[in-house]
Amino acid sequence: MPHPVMFDEADPLLARVRSLALALPGASEKISHGRPFFSTRTAFAVYGGGEKGTRAPFPRSLIVKPDEEERRALLEEPHTYVPMYFGPSGWVGYDLARPEVDWDEVAELLDMSYRQTAPPKLVRELDARLG
């Protein structure tokens, strides 16, 4: 049985995340488990999720895989959470459904997560783009 769709295609936050994620070399999007997954050979970001332990929903959030130092710092922030399923592997949820979202930080988190998961060839391509 397929998972129900758990996002709104017209969501402007998803559109913003999509534009940032799909600008990365070799990035693609697919719907898995009812949510948008952004990936190269493996996922580097997921739109929407829930909090591990409480199962509290965060349908308008971004789940990313930061490096360990950044993960610890992020989890000190009130707008982040440990996501179900992904949390034990080092992923962090970043709530986008709030008035003051730092989109530069979102772009940096996508970049970091991408670098954690993308093949070296694509990371080199990204570095070449950035000069």
- In this prediction the pTM is 0.94
Residues found in the chain? 131
Q: In this structure, are residues 6 and 34 in contact, taking their beta carbons and an 8 Å threshold?
A: yes
Q: Per residue in 83-95, pLDDT tens?
A: 999 999 999 999 9
Residue 2 has pLDDT above 80, yes or no: no
CA distances (Å), origin 46, targets 50, 71, 72, 89, 104: 11, 16, 19, 14, 18
Q: Give the integer Cα–Cα distance in Å for 33 and 5.
A: 8
Sorted by where each begins, the domain ranges of the chain are 12-123
User: Under CATH, which number does the domain 12-123 receive?
Assistant: 3.90.1150.30
Q: Per residue in 101-129, pLDDT tens?
A: 999 999 999 999 999 999 999 999 999 99
Residue 1 has pLDDT above 70, yes or no: no
Residue 43 phi, psi dihedral angles, 5° rounding: -65, 140
Q: Per residue in 27-73, pLDDT tens?
A: 999 999 999 999 999 999 999 999 888 877 899 999 999 999 999 99
Q: In this structure, are residues 21 and 118 in contact, taking their beta carbons and an 8 Å threshold?
A: no
